[in-house]
Amino acid sequence: MDVLTVLNLGEFAHVFSKMGMFPVFDLAYYIVSILYLKYEPGSVEVSRRSPVASWLCAMLYCFGSYILADIMLGSSPIDYFQHNSHILLASAVWYLIFYCPLNLFYKCVAFLPVKLVLVALKEVVRTRKISAGVHHAHHAYHHGFFIMVIVGYVKGSGVALMSNFEQLLRGVWRPETNEILSMSFPTKASLYGAILFTMQEAHWLPVSKSILILAFTLFMATSKVVMTARHSHGSPFTLIESWVCHLLFGSPLGDSEEDHHHPPAATPPTSPLKTKEELSEGARKRKVKKAE
Amino acid sequence: MDVLTVLNLGEFAHVFSKMGMFPVFDLAYYIVSILYLKYEPGSVEVSRRSPVASWLCAMLYCFGSYILADIMLGSSPIDYFQHNSHILLASAVWYLIFYCPLNLFYKCVAFLPVKLVLVALKEVVRTRKISAGVHHAHHAYHHGFFIMVIVGYVKGSGVALMSNFEQLLRGVWRPETNEILSMSFPTKASLYGAILFTMQEAHWLPVSKSILILAFTLFMATSKVVMTARHSHGSPFTLIESWVCHLLFGSPLGDSEEDHHHPPAATPPTSPLKTKEELSEGARKRKVKKAE
Amino acid sequence: MDVLTVLNLGEFAHVFSKMGMFPVFDLAYYIVSILYLKYEPGSVEVSRRSPVASWLCAMLYCFGSYILADIMLGSSPIDYFQHNSHILLASAVWYLIFYCPLNLFYKCVAFLPVKLVLVALKEVVRTRKISAGVHHAHHAYHHGFFIMVIVGYVKGSGVALMSNFEQLLRGVWRPETNEILSMSFPTKASLYGAILFTMQEAHWLPVSKSILILAFTLFMATSKVVMTARHSHGSPFTLIESWVCHLLFGSPLGDSEEDHHHPPAATPPTSPLKTKEELSEGARKRKVKKAE
């Protein structure tokens, strides 16, 4: 009976890992991504003043991972824009989220239960992107393990890694911080995922790729759904990370969590910003509402 | 007789669309572009302090459209620099405009009647670039309509789209605005032109490419000459744009024009800058003169 | 006897120009580069807060020249990361310099006699990179002399040319200056070297490439060793440059040297920065020591 379970699980994982992403999962990805764009302070004003800039930002949010991966592998950064149906679908989502009368579409998709489902679907796409990115890099550089990790990482993180330049497009410039200096949970998870998938591709992990995709998807979807439901920004890696960083890099223990509560005097240039960001986090939703 | 007129027009358009751009038209393009660089506040100081930075900026002004298009299509960004004669010609123009004794060359080409002719010739080159960019992208991505529009757009707009980074090279950083957030007339016209040429390439427009090139060139040259003669920054698209944006994107009516006269309270972060820019527009010529 | 000397010199130059750089010379390159990264104000804090950002900066310092040259020639910017052993060696150096217990490794390599040897070895690598860059560009663009100079230049200068963006990764943004606006000695020498190697490749210089490599290496190593030993930032080109710039570009005479002593009123935006930088130069070592 045990063998059967394994067989079924393996088969399920195989089917899951071959499932097409377009249009349902991609649609969820676009909706959640552009929702986050609308949460950004000032993005609604930009959408009124310059629809072209707003559309470009939305495209970066939806296709940033493809753009970055294409840059990393030396292809045309707008290579993915040849898929007209994907671009049109994302553009329609952008239009509905920003300009729908009565803000109806936004209210529907930002409704928590709906949003939780969309967030879970988005993580399915993210995992598949990481896996595809690592595989693509493996194809181009057979033993380029660093390249495989980097490409998988940018495929998973997407626009976050170029947030400074995406903000610049909207006239905002915050050089004091960036996604690498203070990684958010999805960026960190993408990095770890890219390392795992690279190890799998190099046959250093004794699991099949489809099982890894299934497991990583479950982990990501669960984490993000719980975090979204609890409006939390903590990460499940905090404890283990702080110990590893303490041992390897001499970072002070419990740093990432406590930082927010008692910012140490040692990092004056970034702490005021953090506070401002946290404030704006709170002010964000009000602004979005007010702007409509 | 009507048929004959059409035949002649078609033939004229065909000959016009095959006419070589080098060296006369390209020379006009380089002169006007580097003239605009010299108008930029601080550029004369940079030319004294660091000729290399000044030369690089001049090259970006002259060949920015090729650089951006090559980046977009994944080729070497300095691919165009293999045309030594073009680079040498542009470098000679840069040297004459910035370092000519008694500022003689600058005074000649900035003399309004001469400048108007050069501006008209420059628009001939711009239209050809848009058309070539769309055609090139069509060749690489047969159904990539978005790619065709993007490549045509960057070919037409050139350095304007990377003005933030061109300024950075001269030690100036103005993150509050960029060419996408507040498009100037040539950038907007390039976008519309790229859309038209893409539609022509996709056979959605019932005109031949040479006729379209002729018509668009005439429109651009006339508009720019009139605007240059009247020192105006308005655009012929304002009225239709404000209505379309009002209907499609809920932008307030008459926004782009009135903005300059009574800046609304809703956009405080950009309006002080605008004012500063307008001031510096006035102060520009004096500065350029003083610096020599 | 004279002929014999020439023969021997030619043979020695030939052997020298074919000598493998990995691992000894490359190791010296990595050590000196990451040493300079540690000198940068704030970099030790970054290494504690975000090891990933610190590692990325270290990689830019070590492989920035390959990244830039690959971008310039339209290849994958991370193409060089396929050489796992080079990346691992550089990573080990980074780890030892930033996290070695008691800061032992840093103290060893920053010890002046050791550092002088390493600096000399680094210049051997730099010259070889310029020569290889020019040769590579020559292979791709047979008559693209400008491209050859540009690629040789970025191969020699490396991270310096993208210092603004490397700093941004560490949360520092200094738009008022960049390496092109105020070139340091190695950047300038790389430019002149790239021009020389391009002239050699185009057969405009009556010397063999190996002789040129030997001569340029000797010049660079001597200059850098002397400058490092005397903690000087002056350059041997100052006198001739100020005369050439005066004649060609109308720059005020003796500008680059005197600038530092009596900053003229004409360039207010940059002079306060310079002063700040000079101050921080002094404060640097103390900071590095304090942070450990």
pLDDT digits (tens, 9 = 90+) for A211-256: 999 999 999 999 999 999 999 888 889 899 999 999 999 888 754 4
B156 is a domain residue: yes
pLDDT band at B116, cuts 50/70/90? very high
Please indicate whether residue C236 or residue C138 has the higher confidence score (pLDDT).
C138
Kindly state whether residue A169 falls inside one of the protein's structural domains.
Answer: yes
Does the structure show a pLDDT above 80 at A288?
no
Q: Contact C83/C67 with Cβ under 8 angstroms?
A: no
What is the pLDDT, as a whole number, of residue A252? 81
Q: Does the structure show a pLDDT above 50 at C266?
A: no
Predicted pLDDT of residue C251? 83
- pLDDT recorded at residue B257: 40
Does ipTM come in above 0.95? no
Q: Which of the 8 DSSP states describes residue B252?
A: P
Residue A3 lies in a domain: no
Q: How far out from the chain centre does Cα C114 lie?
A: 18
Pick among A46, A50, A75, A80 to test the B interface (most B CBs inside 10 A): A50
C-alpha span between B201 and C244 (Å, rounded): 51
The verdict on residue C57 lying in a domain is: yes
- Cα distance between the two ends of chain C: 58
Q: Which long-range contacts (CB under 8 A, 24 or more apart) does A282-286 make?
A: A283/A41, A284/A39, A284/A40, A284/A41, A285/A39
pLDDT at B250: 86
- Average the pLDDT over each of A207-221, B200-214, B238-252, C56-70 and give the range with the smallest value: B238-252
**Under 8 Å between Cβ of B60 and B30:** no
Nearest to A82 among B74, B147, B266 (CB): B147
C72 vs B56, B77, B87: nearest CB? B77
Nearest to B82 among C71, C147, C267 (CB): C147
Res B24 pLDDT > 70: yes
Distance CA B110, CA B97 (A): 10
From chain A, pick out residues whose CB is under 8 angstroms from the CB of B268: none
Percent of chain C with pLDDT strictly greater than 70: 84
* Residue C84 pLDDT exceeds 90: yes
Query: Which site among A146, A154, A246, A259 would you substitute to test the C interface, given the most C Cβ atoms closer than 10 Å to its Cβ?
Result: A146
A122 and A250 housed in the same domain:
no
Residues A251 and A232 in one domain: no
Residue A285 confidence (pLDDT): 45
Which member of A164, A175, A267 has the closest CB to residue C49?
A: A267
Q: Is residue A80 part of a domain?
A: yes
The total number of structural domains in chain C stands at 1
Q: How far apart are the first and last CA of chain A?
A: 58
Segment C166-199, tens digit of pLDDT: 999 999 999 999 999 999 999 999 999 999 999 9
Residue located via tokens 């960049």: C178
Task: State the Cα–Cα distance between residues A251 and A124, nearest whole angstrom.
Answer: 33
Range of the domain at A116: 21-236
Q: Which residues of B touch C (CB under 8 A)?
A: 45-53, 56, 70, 74-79, 81-82, 84, 87, 98-99, 168-173
Rounded Cα distance, C147 and C141, in Å: 8
B49 contacts on C by Cβ (under 8 Å):
181-182, 251, 255, 267
Of the three residues A217, A236, A255, the one that is the final residue of a domain is A236
The C-alpha atoms of residue B64 and residue B77 are separated, in whole angstroms, by 9
The predicted pLDDT at position C254 comes to: 56
Cα–Cα distances in angstroms (integers) from residue C152 to residues A188, B51, B88, C55, C199, in the given order:
37, 19, 19, 26, 12
Question: Do A287 and A169 share a domain, yes or no?
Answer: no
To the nearest whole angstrom, how far is the Cα of B217 from the nearest Cα of chain C?
Answer: 32
Residues of A with CB under 8 A from a CB of B: 42, 45-53, 56, 70, 74-79, 81-82, 84, 87, 98-99, 168-173
Residues whose CB is less than 8 angstroms from the CB of residue A157 and which lie 6 or more positions away in sequence, other chains included: A65, A68, A179, A186, A187, A190, A191
What is the pLDDT, as a whole number, of residue C143? Answer: 95
Distance CA C18, CA A49 (A): 60
- At residue B291 the predicted structure's pLDDT band, cuts being 50, 70 and 90, is very low
Instruction: Look up the pTM and report it.
Output: 0.88
H/E/C letters for each residue in chain A? CHHHHHHHHHHHHHHHHHCCCCCHHHHHHHHHHHHHHHHCCCHHHHHHHCHHHHHHHHHHHHHHHHHHHHHHCCCCCCHHHHCHHHHHHHHHHHHHHHHCHHHHHHHHHHCHHHHHHHHHHHHHHHHHHHHHHHHHHHHHCCCCHHHHHHHHHHHHHHHHHHHHHHHHHCCCCCCCCCCCCCCCHHHHHHHHHHHHHHHHHCCCCCCCHHHHHHHHHHHHHHHHHHHHHCCCCCCCCHHHHHHHHHHHHCCCCCHHHHHHHCCCCCCCCCHHHHHHHHHHHHHHHHHHHHHC
Chain B nearest CA to A47, separation (Å): 8
Whether residue A153 is found in the same domain as residue A128: yes
The residue out of A236, A253, A284 marking a domain boundary is: A236
Q: Is A161 in the same domain as A224?
A: yes
State mean pLDDT over A204-210: 94
Indicate whether B270 belongs to any domain.
no
The pLDDT of residue C240 is 92
> Are residues A207 and A115 part of one domain?
yes
Instruction: Quote the strand ranges of chain C, DSSP E.
Output: none
Q: How far is C255 from chain B (nearest CA, A)?
A: 8
Task: Give which of B181, B190, B192, B243 to mutate to test A binding, by max A Cβ within 10 Å.
Answer: B181
Are A184 and A248 in the same domain? no
Q: What is the pLDDT of residue B254?
A: 56
For residue A162, is it within any domain? yes
- Do A141 and A280 fall into the same domain? no
Q: Considering the domain boundaries, does residue C275 fall inside one?
A: no
Query: Chains B, C: CB contacts under 8 A, how many?
Result: 79
Instruction: Give me the pLDDT at residue C220, please.
Output: 97
pLDDT number for residue C252 = 81
Assess whether A113 and A154 both reside in one domain: yes
Helices and strands in chain B, H and E counts: 14, 0
Q: Answer whether A72 sits within 8 Å of C78, measured CB to CB.
A: yes
Both A159 and A274 in a single domain? no
CA distance B189 to B122: 14
C250–B48 C-beta distance less than 8 A: yes
Q: Tell me whether residues A78 and B248 touch, CB distance under 8 A.
A: no
- Name the neighbours of A, counting chains with at least 3 Cβ pairs within 8 A: B, C
Determine the average pLDDT of the residues in A49-61: 96
CA B284 to chain centre: 19
**Mean of the pLDDT values across residues B51-76?**
97
